[in-house]
């Protein structure tokens, strides 16, 4: 059993909770999620099954799209609605200033993760240390915001945005940084992931639907890598590919590798030889 399940994560469950449920629904052990979501967040959570898990490192770097709600004039220690209020401000930005801040935040930048995050600090998760009241010193990481669009003013101090960003971006940190840019404080009050790589919320199913459909809900491995260029080796190379022989190959970017119309995996050139980094046979 190999492929992907495009799940809609409900609020309150962790990504790991859904992995357990998928294992039960499909009666298989080799299952893993492709990028976590905060417990309160909802939306697309692709789950890899069987050989699909071999593509984890490749798919983890795909860009993500979110609908996010930022509330200004108040902040919490966790930068989301689960935390304790840590700061207040009388400054509530207007729509024009919010739109201007959106434009200024687009591009590559160094982002500081939230204090309450899964980042490892000397082998311990940052949120574990933060809950103990210990000082957490996190390092910034380069991320990229490809687009940040104002959608609407939800109420007097809460705004909705659509954000397209690189993998590893903390939306809670964007809320914090935008609030600072606007001369106030703020937190992420809601989050929906509507796209993760090629997985879209319009095609996602609930966990209840998965239990009804079972393996019929499984999407083929090719669905997650259809954006990559395809390279077909002549059928005379089938045995060599099957035996792991490194064939001449000059493509510098990742390609899906086929022979006899069978997917062997994803690879690229290394010293003008095929490096089948993600072997799927």
DSSP letter for each residue of 215-271: GGGPBPGGGGSTTS-EEEE-GGGHHHHHTT---B----S-EEEEETTEEEEEEEEET
pLDDT on residue 163 = 98
Q: Looking at domain 3-61+197-221, what is its CATH homologous superfamily?
A: Pseudouridine synthase (3.30.2350.10)
pLDDT tens-digit readout, 199-217: 999 999 999 999 999 999 9
C-alpha–C-alpha distance, residues 231 and 254, integer Å: 10
Both tokens of 176, joined, read 């914090």
pLDDT on residue 249 = 93
Domain borders along the chain are 3-61+197-221, 64-196, 230-279
Tell which CATH architecture fits domain 64-196: 2-Layer Sandwich (3.30)
pTM of the model: 0.88
C-alpha–C-alpha distance, residues 77 and 86, integer Å: 6
Q: Tell me which residue has tokens 């509330």.
A: 71
Q: Mind telling me the catalytic residues?
A: 38
pLDDT on residue 281 = 83
Q: Are strands 85-88 and 64-72 parallel, antiparallel or unpaired?
A: unpaired
Closest CA to 33 of 13, 11, 49: 49
Per DSSP, the residues of 3-68 read EEEEEEEPTT--HHHHHHHHHHHHT-S-EEESS---TT-EEEEEEEEGGGGGGHHHHTTS-EEEEE
Query: Any idea of the CA torsion for 158, 13, 67, 163, to the nearest 10 degrees?
Result: 110
- 64-196 and 3-61+197-221 share a CATH fold: yes
pLDDT beneath 70, residues of the chain: 116-136
pLDDT on residue 244 = 87
């Amino acid at each position: 059993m190999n492929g992907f399940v495009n799940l809609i994560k409900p609020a309150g469950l962790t990504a790991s909770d859904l992995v357990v449920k998928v294992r039960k629904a499909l009666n298989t052990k080799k299952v893993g999620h492709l990028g976590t979501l905060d417990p309160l967040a909802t939306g697309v959570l692709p789950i890899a099954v069987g050989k699909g898990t071999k593509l984890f490192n490749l798919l983890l770097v795909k860009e993500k799209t979110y609908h996010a709600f930022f509330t200004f004039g108040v902040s919490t220690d966790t930068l989301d609605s689960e935390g304790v209020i840590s700061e207040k401000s009388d400054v509530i930005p207007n729509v024009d200033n919010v739109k201007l801040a959106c434009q200024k935040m687009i591009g590559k930048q160094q982002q500081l993760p939230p204090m309450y995050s899964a980042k490892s600090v000397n082998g311990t998760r940052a949120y574990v240390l933060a809950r103990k009241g210990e000082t957490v010193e996190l390092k910034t990481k380069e991320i990229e915001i490809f687009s940040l669009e104002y959608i609407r003013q939800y109420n007097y101090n809460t705004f909705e945005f659509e954000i397209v960003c690189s993998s590893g971006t903390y939306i809670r940190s964007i809320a914090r940084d935008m609030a600072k840019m606007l001369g106030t404080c703020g937190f992420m009050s809601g989050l929906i992931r509507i796209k993760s790589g090629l997985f879209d919320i319009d095609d996602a199913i609930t966990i209840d639907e998965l239990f009804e459909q079972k393996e019929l809900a499984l999407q083929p491995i090719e669905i997650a890598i259809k954006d990559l260029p395809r390279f077909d080796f002549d059928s005379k190379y089938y045995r060599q590919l099957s035996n792991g022989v490194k064939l001449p190959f000059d493509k510098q970017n990742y390609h899906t590798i086929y022979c006899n119309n069978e997917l062997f995996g994803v690879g690229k050139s290394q010293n003008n030889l095929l490096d089948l980094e993600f072997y799927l046979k």
